[in-house]
Structure 1
Amino acid sequence: MADDALPLREHRGYVGAMTTAPAVDPATGLRTDGGPDLDHLALLAALQEAFAAGTRTADPAARVPACGRWRVRNLVEHLGRIHHWAAGQARRERETPLGRGPFDLVPFYTAQAAELHGTLVALGPDADAWTLTGRGPATFWWRRQLHETLVHLHDLRAAGHGSGVAVGAQDPVGVDAEVWADGVDEVVTMFQPRQVRLDRMAPLDRTVALHATDVGRVWMLGAHDDTEPGVPATTVHAPARELDLLLWRRLSPEEAGATVTGDPDALDAALAEPIVP
């Protein structure tokens, strides 16, 4: 990310920097400040390859931590179906039903991954697509499917190690902190406001500041317009990876090693809401 930050006031341990407006347009997945975009398609391909490799050696019956009753089989079939559905959304077509399964997991997943990536490459960045925010460019799906795959690759590795915490220490997903930061940005600027817009949750009563200590960025969860966000009720300090996994409920604040300043109840209240689908 470009170093285009403004100083923030000090309050309740809230010290850091905040970028001007959203650095990424949630409707397109592209930078708005002229800075370099992540290579979402290349990253997506690499993560899909890593997910397929992990599927080859995973126990289909292994429990997926932080995903309720899901087993690895459910996880792989879910991601394959999402890839297939997203490819249809990018083409503005209803997807062909894939059937109930069970499927032979590796060929099933690799076929859907190839369909998605091939579709996005063939369409190009400016193709008119159906997106989660309305009609928009296919680049929306470049970003969205990158982060869908990233979080679920973490899930797959967590299933192998028996916990999400163990993944960071023993088998971390090899992407830069900026990629995880982009995932935080997506939740704050696209998913949580969309959940409010769809009446799946009420607006947050109190703003939560998310300070990614490794990339020097701060997001205001619960502040979604161009007005002064005010003083946050609480600030969460952690690396971008841990913040992203915290927002997706893959790690608790304690498991993320987060430092929470201000009112911790504000963070608990935010995480208790369906800020992501």
Structure 2
Amino acid sequence: MLEAIDVHADGLKRAALAAGPAAPVPNCPKWTVHDLVTHIAFVHCSVIGLAVDRPAKPEPPAAWEDVLGWWDGQRLALREALSRNPDAPWTRRMAHETAIHRLDAESALAQPVHTRFSPEFANDGIDEFLTFLLPHRGFAVGVRVTTPERTWTVGTPGTEVSGDADDVYRALYGRPNRAAVTGDRLPAL
């Protein structure tokens, strides 16, 4: 998962630089690329504090070039903090946080790229969503999720999501997808 953080942060940064700070982010309609990069840097900084048991109060800089530099520093510090205990849940969470926001940055490109996640990575992200994000955010939703590799059932299913792992992963995280969703609407993150 440490390598996944690096791969997806690099992809996010490439897309952010190509799109430019003022580009709107279609996957997150209220954000520009500048907002997106500030958000991911803020999250990385916060997790560093949690990983080393020194909670931080990040204060992002305002200027685009400064945000990029600040994020580069946070990425290095995050890697260092998480490498001390790579099996900690924060490593997994940051891999998926960064991967999903990579999709957001790529959606801001004039010619969006079509990144696809491996079934192994996407299924792990589905599991993270269902076992951590859904209960942590207080959503009381029953859902059955099916990919070719695995099926999850949470509560009494009022919603069913199925398809290849990449599309189901995207559907659960509220990103454009081709998954089949029936029943109640999934909560927005």
Q: Which TM class, normalised by the smaller chain length?
A: 0.7 to 0.9
Name the residue aligned to 2:179.
258
The answer on whether the counterparts of 2:25 and 2:104 sit within 8 Å (CA) in structure 1 is yes
Q: Does 1:171 align with 2:114?
A: yes
Larger radius of gyration: 1
Call closer, same or farther: CA 1:237–1:124 in 2, change over 3 Å: closer
Name the residue aligned to 1:236.
161
Call closer, same or farther: CA 1:240–1:267 in 2, change over 3 Å: farther
TM-score normalized by structure 1? 0.62
The separation in 1 between residues aligned to 2:93 and 2:58, in whole angstroms, is 21
Alignment of 1:78-97 (within 5 A): 78-97=39-58
How far residue 100 of structure 1 moved from its aligned partner, in angstroms, is 4.5
Structure 2, unmatched stretches of 5+, are none
The separation in 2 between residues aligned to 1:188 and 1:103, in whole angstroms, is 35
TM-score normalized by structure 2? 0.88
Name the residue aligned to 1:74.
35
How far residue 234 of structure 1 moved from its aligned partner, in angstroms, is 4.8
RMSD of aligned alpha carbons: 2.1
Alignment of 1:101-250 (within 5 A): 101-104=62-65, 105-121=67-83, 123-125=84-86, 139-161=88-110, 167=112, 170-173=113-116, 175-196=117-138, 201=139, 203-204=140-141, 207-213=142-148, 216-220=149-153, 222-223=154-155, 232-250=157-175
The separation in 1 between residues aligned to 2:119 and 2:46, in whole angstroms, is 28
Deviations 1:17-54 (A, max 9, x none): xxxxxxxxxxxxxxxxxxxxxxx111112222222222
Which amino acid in 2 is paired with 1:78?
Answer: H
How far residue 99 of structure 1 moved from its aligned partner, in angstroms, is 4.1
Superposed structure 1 runs of 4+ greater than 6 Å apart: none
The separation in 1 between residues aligned to 2:173 and 2:123, in whole angstroms, is 13
Percent identical across equivalent pairs?
26
SS at match of 2:160: strand
Instruction: Count matched residues.
Output: 188
The separation in 1 between residues aligned to 2:159 and 2:98, in whole angstroms, is 30
How far residue 111 of structure 1 moved from its aligned partner, in angstroms, is 1.4
SS at match of 1:160: coil
Q: Does 1:267 align with 2:184?
A: yes
Name the residue aligned to 2:12.
51
More helix as a share of residues:
2
